[in-house]
Structure 1
Amino acid sequence: MRPRVAAAASGAIALVVTLGACSKNTGEGTTVDTNRQQTGVIATDPKESAGPAAEVPGAQKGGTLTIIRETAISHLDPQRTYSFAGLMANPLFARYLTTWKDDGKGGLVLVGDLAETPGKNVNNDCKVWEFTVKDGVKFEDGRPITSKEIAYGIARSFDPDLTSGPTYLQEWLADTPQFDTKWDFKANKTALPPGLTTPDAKTLRFEFTKPRCDLPFAVSLPTTAPLPADKDTGVNLDNRPFSSGPYKVAANQVGVQLTLDRNPNWDPATDPVRHAYPDTFVWSFGPTADAANNRVIADNGPDQSALAFNFVPPSLVARVAGDAALKPRTILSPTPSANQLVINTQRVTDLKVRQALNYAIDREGLVKALGGQTVASPMTTLMPPSTIGFKAYDAYPAGATGDAAKVKELLGGQTPELVLGVADNTNEQTIGTQLKTNLERAGFKITLRNIPDDAKLDEVKKKDNPWDLYIGNWAADWPSGASILPVLYDGRTIKAEGNSNQSYFNDAAINAEMDRILALAPAEQGPEWGKLDERIMKEHAPVVPLYADVAYNVHGSKVGGIFISSVFGYPSFVNAHVKP
């Protein structure tokens, strides 16, 4: 949520990061290739942002690619999209100001999507930015996309009825986390938020009171998806978004099946990233992770061109890892996605109880319950290892399975009774059951409460939610501590609903330290985020770090072009195709 890179003399931003890790033998007959360099740059040559995208070797047009997922996608409305499934589905039917070229191996280049370039830093101070809209970009009905429709999409993200999406642009334009009190979308539907203007049909202009050097990254999120005002159906846009991408919604049986057909008005010559190889994408909801993966493993009929979006579940890991014939149909990749047991600090106010939860945790048991190291890699930090500024530490060293003696010492005879909210999907049910057993063995009393999976993201973001604990997951919107710690732990952002700070942690000294770090030169920020990570955990323990996701997916024999997003850690479909 804050600047991380400085402007170059030309007004273009360039960032290069190198994030190394080591290869890890999982012990389950396969290896997670984490020995790679993750790099990110912002394209300075406009040719990088021009289309068409380079052809995928061997890919052909045609066929139906099916994506099987246990639960429905929480939001399809781009301005409300922030779940992993939503972030991977949206690029099929929505375009943004910028987007990432991703080689699937950690190599990232930020390019213009609807915009001709990743933006112009007008005065080289990161306060004024301009984006020029490409010629030839169109909506599904054939009308041209202009700066007006992009600006309207951003404006509607201020509507308090349309919560759950990213809030970077809203907070930066309003210069306050309470952006919906600064500018009222409902009362100003024909106007634009402060600082956002459209000088002409091709130009979108942002003016901020503070430097916002991260803007090219922030506008790569769905907040900048365009929408004509006459197509805004409010909360009902979730059922049928209006396409600016290569596909459009053909049918949506909500919660059961979403069918996307090609958008004939999408011009590949304008798009540097996407292809439209399959005739149709079908998102099929309902089968459990076990059922979906078993179908894809069997590789019969239509499932030959299907992908199980849910990672290989614990019950199938040994089978998949041990079957050499499945290796060409599996994807095993590290991800930047971190998981925590989030502690609602409004309800669990005793620091000793929060520290005891950290000492009690049995990470080894949790990883085993999830399926082993092809599924999860234990963490003791707030930021995952792939983050710029990562610092390895363990604030509550309890070994692999927990320290019962230290828990007993901290609790001092108490038996805290805590409510753990768990989504009603297979993965969280597995985690919830294991955590309950683990924590009760250590001296807590845990009550599990189910939350509908497609509502969980909205519900835990409500400040007055009724749970003491819940399972949280966060992948930085770009690989920097600046897009993790301020987003999740700046207490000044807390509002009634739509909170990313789901631990509801608010400490004036920590907030001030965030401001101090953000005022540093970007090259100096990395180590400071690592220090702050450790300080937050040692002084406040607002969460229990659990593990980083390892992506392990299986697809049918006729599926090609799938890779794991280097940004979000889930399957990307921009290169997907169906083999003949």
Structure 2
Amino acid sequence: MTSSTLRAALAALLLLPVAACAGSTTQKGSAGGTARDTLRWASEGSANNLDIAHGFNGASTLIQAAVLDTMVALDKQGAPAPRLAESWTRPDPKTYLFKLRQGVKFSDGTPLTADDAAFSLARHLDPVVASQAAAYFTSVKSVEPVGADQVKVTMKKPNSAFLALAAIAWQVTPRKLAEAHPKDLGSPEVGTIGTGAFKVDKFSITSGIELSRNPHHWGEKPALSKVEIKNISDPETLRLALQSGEMDATRDVSPREARKWKGMAGVKPTFFPGNNIAYLSLAVGNGPLKDVHVRRAIAHAVNRKAIADLMTQGNGQPAAVVMPPPQVSAVYGTAVPAFKEYPYDIAAAKAELAKSAHAGGFEMKVAYGSTGDSGTVMQAVAADLAKIGIKLTLEPMPADKYMNKMMEHDGLTVQFHELAYGTPDPGELLPDMVGSVAAKPQGFNFSGYSSPELDAKLEDLAASATDEEKRKHVTDMLNDLAEQVPYIPLYATNNGFALNEKFTAEVHTWTENIFAAVRPAGS
């Protein structure tokens, strides 16, 4: 998924507020500079929560991946691999048994238990928690510890995507901490602890985040001893911060600005295939957007190729369907079916609008985040739609306020999104697009397009026993989306990652913990 907006110490049974921790953790070298194993990271968006249940966005999950281990990982090919679970078995199609890795401790030194691991998944099923990751686990019936070192997960129905989804969202925290804070775990006031490579020393939405190496981490010791994350919302200011050496790294390298980044001395930008999709959502329950002919008119009126060219600058590709390219390739290889298309055609757009109850056009207020790419895209969309009599009144707002509005599904109309996903399995994305659970507040179905029939198709996809069955169910849903147009696919970009030459890193499409992949040059 995305993006964004999107992830202290334990005293007795409760976590003390992170604000109570010591101030700056910057290490100083002998010459008074920052230590060579301290990374200063610049982020265009600020993390709002270090628990995926309430911070399922790119800026937040970046930190979560460094601090909170999941039970399952993804390898370089995107296939499930061991993490906190050293192994697992599947006694029957609806049952998983996970065997916990031995000797794992949380960053406060307390042992990880099977009860902690089981509860960390079960809490996403609790409506009181109102987890943003709930749609990932709708097929889970129950989770329970079995003895001291096993966790049993029972499914309502088989789900072929479960392991991949667990690698993204089954973050493990202490049960006592999570139970004490069902709604504010991960907030700046509460914080979080995990078993990951790093621990949180400071968390402030305004002044930044500081991490340090977790002394109790069970795995390979990270090369970095500290990471300092600073929010720099303006893209050019962020770039100049790396150019001057004030900051060392970022993953917020806009493909449109690739030429500027490639010409910077001492900074190396890297681009690799992203598992993301940029699109417009049309709120199908809102006024004129209820009419499929209006939605088809919008699809014809938006010059998607021009927007894709503008926003990717050759570091990406136009999108034919609302699915990231790695997921499309995982399902179809090179034999992608031909889905119904809506080429840029003003005459066709006007003809579709004439079939609706809004032939003369209409006006609609549209909110968008004032930083990042949203403004550029929405201004282009508004200019295109004005040609057929649809007037969008654009209302910019701060990114964090806009994200909260989006997640509350508050007054949604025509919205721009760019969501990044963590696996090559379409069972991760499609519930976001058509699932009824995700159509509720805190879900990612911003169009509100869902039905019992689509929920049944999602269940069929999850139960697919063969690749052929999976292709059939994915194709059925993509055909439905192409006919009904709750979404307009725009483009997919490569991921941009920039690093000061003082450091090196090996990152790829499925890298989750970027900080653990970075090391000082020559080390």
> Which TM-score band (shorter chain)?
0.7 to 0.9
> Following TM superposition, by how much is the alpha carbon of 1:524 offset from its aligned partner in structure 2, in angstroms?
1.3
Alpha carbons of structure 1 residues 459 and 564: separation in structure 2 relative to 1, 3 Å: farther
Match of 1:111 among 72, 81, 86: 81
> Following TM superposition, by how much is the alpha carbon of 1:500 offset from its aligned partner in structure 2, in angstroms?
2.4
- Structure 2 distance, partners of 1:522, 1:475, is 26
Match of 1:474 among 388, 412, 419: 419
- Structure 2 distance, partners of 1:517, 1:135, is 35
CA contact (8 A) 1:299 1:556 kept: no
1:121 aligns with 2:90: yes
Equivalent residue for 1:335? 274
> Following TM superposition, by how much is the alpha carbon of 1:409 offset from its aligned partner in structure 2, in angstroms?
1.1
1:66 aligns with 2:46: no
Match of 1:432 among 378, 394, 402: 378
- Structure 2 distance, partners of 1:293, 1:408, is 42
What pairs with 1:214-293 in structure 2 (closer than 5 Å)?
Answer: 214-230=161-177, 232-233=180-181, 234-239=183-188, 240-268=191-219, 275-293=221-239
Match of 1:208 among 132, 155, 162: 155
Equivalent residue for 2:305? 364
Deviates more, 1:376-385 or 1:362-371: 362-371
> Following TM superposition, by how much is the alpha carbon of 1:455 offset from its aligned partner in structure 2, in angstroms?
4.4
1:573 is paired with a residue whose SS is helix
- Structure 2 distance, partners of 1:567, 1:458, is 27
Equivalent residue for 1:190? none
2:518 is matched by which residue type in structure 1? Answer: A
Alpha carbons of structure 1 residues 164 and 454: separation in structure 2 relative to 1, 3 Å: farther
1:550 aligns with 2:501: no
Q: Deviations over 1:382-403 (max 9, x none)?
A: 22332233435352342xxx21
Aligned length: 474
CA contact (8 A) 1:351 1:541 kept: yes
- Structure 1 distance, partners of 2:170, 2:259, is 40
1:259 is paired with a residue whose SS is strand
2:50 is matched by which residue type in structure 1? Answer: L
**Unpaired runs of at least 5, structure 1:** 2-60, 175-194
Alpha carbons of structure 1 residues 430 and 417: separation in structure 2 relative to 1, 3 Å: same
Alpha carbons of structure 1 residues 444 and 548: separation in structure 2 relative to 1, 3 Å: same
Alpha carbons of structure 1 residues 393 and 414: separation in structure 2 relative to 1, 3 Å: farther
> Following TM superposition, by how much is the alpha carbon of 1:65 offset from its aligned partner in structure 2, in angstroms?
0.8
> Following TM superposition, by how much is the alpha carbon of 1:280 offset from its aligned partner in structure 2, in angstroms?
0.5
Q: Percent identity?
A: 17
Equivalent residue for 1:497? 441
1:574 aligns with 2:516: yes
2:447 is matched by which residue type in structure 1? Answer: S
CA contact (8 A) 2:339 2:482 kept: no
1:407 is matched by which residue type in structure 2? Answer: A
1:450 is matched by which residue type in structure 2? Answer: P
2:196 is paired with a residue whose SS is coil
Q: Deviations over 1:554-580 (max 9, x none)?
A: 221212115243378xx8333111236
1:380 aligns with 2:320: yes
> Following TM superposition, by how much is the alpha carbon of 1:338 offset from its aligned partner in structure 2, in angstroms?
0.8
Q: Deviations over 1:302-354 (max 9, x none)?
A: 43xx112312363x333334x3967x711111212011100111111010110
CA contact (8 A) 1:65 1:280 kept: yes
> Following TM superposition, by how much is the alpha carbon of 1:504 offset from its aligned partner in structure 2, in angstroms?
0.7
Deviates more, 1:516-525 or 1:84-93: 516-525
- Structure 2 distance, partners of 1:63, 1:421, is 42
2:395 is matched by which residue type in structure 1? Answer: R
Q: Deviations over 1:383-428 (max 9, x none)?
A: 2332233435352342xxx211111111124213223221121321
Question: TM (normalized to structure 2)?
Answer: 0.83
Equivalent residue for 1:149? 116
1:563 is paired with a residue whose SS is coil
- Structure 2 distance, partners of 1:131, 1:121, is 9
2:396 is paired with a residue whose SS is strand
Q: Deviations over 1:47-89 (max 9, x none)?
A: xxxxxxxxxxxxxx95211211122113211433421233332
- Structure 1 distance, partners of 2:373, 2:206, is 18
- Structure 1 distance, partners of 2:159, 2:305, is 41
**Unpaired runs of at least 5, structure 2:** 2-34
1:408 aligns with 2:350: yes
1:311 aligns with 2:258: no
2:39 is paired with a residue whose SS is strand
CA contact (8 A) 1:561 1:575 kept: yes
Match of 1:345 among 284, 287, 291: 284
2:56 is matched by which residue type in structure 1? Answer: Y
Q: Deviations over 1:433-463 (max 9, x none)?
A: 2222222234310011234323444432334
1:258 is matched by which residue type in structure 2? Answer: I
CA contact (8 A) 1:293 1:312 kept: no
Match of 2:476 among 532, 535, 540: 532
2:230 is paired with a residue whose SS is strand
> Following TM superposition, by how much is the alpha carbon of 1:170 offset from its aligned partner in structure 2, in angstroms?
4.4
CA contact (8 A) 2:71 2:167 kept: yes
CA contact (8 A) 1:99 1:111 kept: yes
**Alpha carbon RMSD of aligned pairs, Å?**
2.7
